[in-house]
Structure 1
């Protein structure tokens, strides 16, 4: 009986220690992503640095790190424990990206987009993947000056035209209302002068 109780205690202690080790291991893999101040603003033709880092700071050398826009299967850049994986990179970013890893041991990476074009504006998702956890951050890229991103397709161009038409109609209604108020005020003024 005493031997059985001692065995039960030892089993309980080992189970408890295993649980603590498991919790420590799984909590060590939990992290969030902090992005550089957004939006990142860059003139056309310049370079833009989109930075992401782990919180809490930890090495990201053994992680897979991906940057993408819109379609999560079309990547701007993929780091898979190697500096470069060109196989899944979107064609329009080939030869225009550089992945800066000098601070990767502190969990900080930067995607440099070279020769920024109007079509580069928008949201970039930064994805860090560890064996038991992943997290994302979003960095916004905007162009300096009065540039607007080119429509991605005919539907987007149509939507932009419809929005512009609605804005014009609303402005036209506001102008007509202001014109009526001005005419009414002018009539009151004329009446007060005559009276």
Structure 2
């Protein structure tokens, strides 16, 4: 073997070694990059799992202590409020007294949000929003009006409407107040008991105002 051949072989060997080093370095960088992506993926997965766990915990979190009185209060007060709203809406275009119009507006503002709140409670408690026996149920004693009463009110206008509206709403409110007092006495859920207290306070004041209107009509 000539000196020239040996020199070429040494250069070739060094070139191969250098290429090997470069290739090894590239592989190492690739592996680090893969590991980094993998770790990032792991972190995201952990964050996602944590978020899912938080959401699940929120959805399954207890809604507070609830008993049968709370459920009955919400299920009974929803249709009671709905009828009050129906009566209040009749005042538009029929009532002539400014106080009657004002009271009707207050009823709509207060009771519509309460209906939504109570339906939300029942959903969170895994209870139906209405009693199974509600259709055709005898609701005497709670101030609910009959279908004939509602039709009669709907057919009136002016002073006649004002008087009948005041009479009917006083009876209706007194029924709601009695139901709310039962909840205050027997209920367990803090939010439901608080709403019952608000109903007693608010509707008691409206009963006094309605009676005052009725006395002067």
The verdict on a shared fold, with TM-score over 0.5 as the criterion, is no
Name the structure where strand makes up a greater proportion of residues. Answer: 1
TM-score normalized with structure 1 length: 0.27
Name the structure where helix makes up a greater proportion of residues. Answer: 2
